[in-house]
Homo-oligomer: A and B are copies of this chain.
Amino acid sequence: MTRNIRISPLTQAAFAPYGDVLNCDGDPDKMINAGLCGRFHDRARVDVTDGQVGISLFRSELRALPYQLDLIERHPAGSQAFIPMSMDPFLVIVADAGLQPQAFVTAPAEGINFHRGTWHGVLTPLSGPGLFAVIDRIGEGANLEEHVFDTPYSVNF
């Protein structure tokens, strides 16, 4: 038997237990470049226990809805931010300490940062080129825990 999860719009408040929403809501913290550019400063809790913070690119196949969620993962040694390189919303799945998943969809031009140790689904772009910049820990040693759901969830709007 499949369990259903409904996708909600991503909001700072709903996502706060899991990470940071990276967007330009509100006023910039500072205007730079002679007033032509707004800086929304230091919007993610970037946090690695060792190694270094680095920038990688992910290119993912697109996923279709309903999405069958059977796996979540977490990285005990570091936060992980996903910055979409196109204006396409993407699906974001997180789970709490009790492994109860929640699903969100981003707005265009919105990234997210999973706090260190947060359970989350794998990268699930729904449209566009599936290209993301990823800011996470670069270092040696295992930094991946996985949990497989015996009964998968069906994720949809």
Contacts and interface: CB of A to CB of B under 8 A. Distances in A.
Interface of A: 22-24, 28, 32-33, 36-44, 46, 52-61, 81, 83-87, 109, 111, 113, 122-123, 129-131, 133-135, 138
A100 B85 CA distance: 30
Contacts of A54: 41-44, 46
Contact of A55 (B24, B42, B58): B42
A contact face: mostly helix, strand, loop, or mixed: strand
B38 A58 contact: yes
A58 B42 contact: no
A55 B113 contact: yes
Contacts of A135: 53, 55, 135
A120 to B, nearest CB: 12
A38 B55 CA distance: 14
A41 B56 contact: yes
Contacts of A58: 32, 37-40
Contacts of A33: 60, 122-123
Contact of A37 (B41, B84, B109, B122): B122
